[in-house]
A and B are shown apart, each in its own frame.
Chain A
Amino acid sequence: MNGPLIARLVREQRVRLPLEILLIGAWGFLLVAVFATSDVFTKQLEAQAKQFGGLLDLIGLDPLAQWASIGFQHPIFLLGGGLFAVGVGIRAIAGELEAGSLALALSRPIARRTWFLSHLLVLVVGCLIISEAYALGCLLATAFTSPMGHLEASWMLLAGAQGGLLLLALGGIAFVISAFSSERGRALSWTVGIVVILYAGNFLLPLWGPTKELAKISPFGWFNPAPLLQRGDVAWGDWVVLALYAAIPLAVAAWQFARRDLAGG
């Protein structure tokens, strides 16, 4: 890690990252606030409560927890967090190489490993904060609007950490493409293309028998916070897959960055 380098990266994010945190936090807050104040939801829940009595509680289904888990998988959350993760990954190598700033920085006594790890630190912390901002937004709205249902704070924060892992996996894809590229635009196009295919594949592949199993290659399928938010069930296997999904591209990116020529810029 390199102090001045990390300080610059943090300074670069001083507007964008707080905005994204606010956006995602507001998304969580609004989602729960709408749930709490909407007549539609309230009437539906009252009807269900009358119809099934204490059955919902008995089987451990909490509509608010279900609602909050949908927000984690919603395109607004993924887009907000993904913009940051992909942005950091692309800029770290291809972006700075094309701009010519990488040549200046690496003519200093900075090892490429240090450059890579400093960017990785910013990526990891940023993804975690953005994801937890959603959890905190939901919890804050729960405290203010008293919706029907319950959100367990520790489970929400744990789901936030897993959401951060998913964003880190997206950042890993961006990093590895960036490490093989010398052009920011090309790296960004490839990354966005791959992420969109993986996202669409998560929904479309299971619809057809022969491709059903292929859906497992998408990292999006390994992030389902509903069981955790409903019952506190932690799917550790999903965590491991997401961690591998982040770690493997990042390891390949680090290997490629260490050996490649920096001829662009």
Chain B
Amino acid sequence: MSEVAQLRGVSKRFGDFTALDAIDLTVSPGEIRGFLGPNGAGKTTAMRILVGLLQADAGTVEVLGGNPRRDHQVRADLGFLPSDPGLYGRMRGAELLDHFAALSQREPVLRERACALLRMDDADLARPVRTYSKGMRQKIGVLQAVQHDPTLLILDEPGEGLDPLVLAGLVELLRDRRDAGRSILFSSHVLAEVAALCDRVTMIRNGRIIGEGTIAELSDQQARTVIVQLADASATVDLPGCTLVDRTGGRVTLTHHGEVRPLLAALAALDVRDVRIEEVSLDTVFMDYYRDEATA
């Protein structure tokens, strides 16, 4: 099946600054794709190219079988939430949603359910948008993107400013859409949200894609922490794929890369009192990928 959205070798420069450097990014039908990267990495630029707001300098862009910049009808099946959505403050919430549904040329078939999940009631929708708090503005931003049940949702930091209850509703809403066969590309700094929601993750840094895969695949590429408590404090430890980090008596801390089976076999041959292999969290994966930049 063809991809719902695809960037191939896409580059974008703003003057001397290279925002994107020949990146590839795909969103498959019925998948939730997480898009991770530090501030200024190029996430928003890539998303705006997918929506047709920016023109790529090089490479090809295909969204829902067309070019979103040239074929504006392609965007009828698209839902977009920018990182800082500009909402018409004088409109009431319901008016604003009606307006964007009319611009989308689609019925807001999902509004009721999405409102319930995001805890947005009629009284909220009857108020002018300018009276909304940051969280309320974010909720109505998500609603305008989702309400017409688009085939592709592009959400830039959708969880920003939402309280945990609403965030749980958002996660349920997005899973629900994925289960209905819709595709979602979303960026986030909340790694727990990405880990809970995403089928696949693409990581970007300095305009380049530096990692892609499922959370498990990305975790496998990262170092695990292995803590071994030896019965004999003077025993020699030489474990496959491991690098010694610290040794205090019989307690040895190592980092491990690669296949876990040879490691387990080697551990079984040792006189070990206790072993702990720490699961690699997405935070660790994220930090490892971005460590170079942080220390640069």
Residues in chain A within 8 A of chain B (CB atoms): 2-5, 8, 12, 96, 99-111, 259, 261-263, 265
Contacts and interface: CB of A to CB of B under 8 A. Distances in A.
Contacts of B86: 96, 99-104, 265
Interface of B: 14, 45, 48, 51-55, 72-76, 78, 80, 82, 84-88, 90, 99-100, 102-105, 144
20 contacts: A4-B99, A100-B85, A102-B86, A103-B51, A103-B86, A104-B82, A104-B144, A107-B51, A107-B53, A107-B75, A107-B78, A108-B100, A108-B105, A109-B73, A109-B75, A111-B72, A259-B55, A261-B53, A262-B48, A263-B14
A182 B73 CA distance: 25
Contacts of B88: 8, 12, 101
Residue among A102, A103, A261, A263 with max Cβ neighbours from chain B (10 Å): A103
A263 B72 contact: no
Contacts of B55: 259, 261
Contacts of A107: 51-53, 75, 78, 80, 82
A104 B84 contact: no
Nearest to A96: B86
Nearest to A108: B103
A3 B105 CA distance: 11
A103 B82 contact: yes
Nearest to B75: A109
Specify which of A103, A104, A109, A265 lies most central, judged by the most chain B CB atoms within 10 Å of its CB.
Answer: A104
Nearest to B98: A4
A106 B82 CA distance: 12
A262 B103 contact: no
A108 B108 CA distance: 14
B85 A108 contact: no
B223 to A, nearest CB: 38
Given A103-B86, A106-B53, 18 more contacts: A4-B99, A4-B102, A100-B85, A103-B51, A104-B85, A104-B100, A106-B51, A107-B51, A107-B52, A107-B82, A108-B103, A108-B105, A109-B73, A110-B72, A111-B72, A263-B48, A265-B84, A265-B86
A111 B87 CA distance: 20
The 4 closest A-B pairs by CB, nearest first: A100-B86, A101-B86, A4-B102, A107-B80
B104 A108 contact: yes
Contacts of B100: 104-105, 108
Contact of B84 (A2, A3, A100, A102): A100
A130 B45 CA distance: 42
Nearest to B102: A4
Contacts of A96: 86
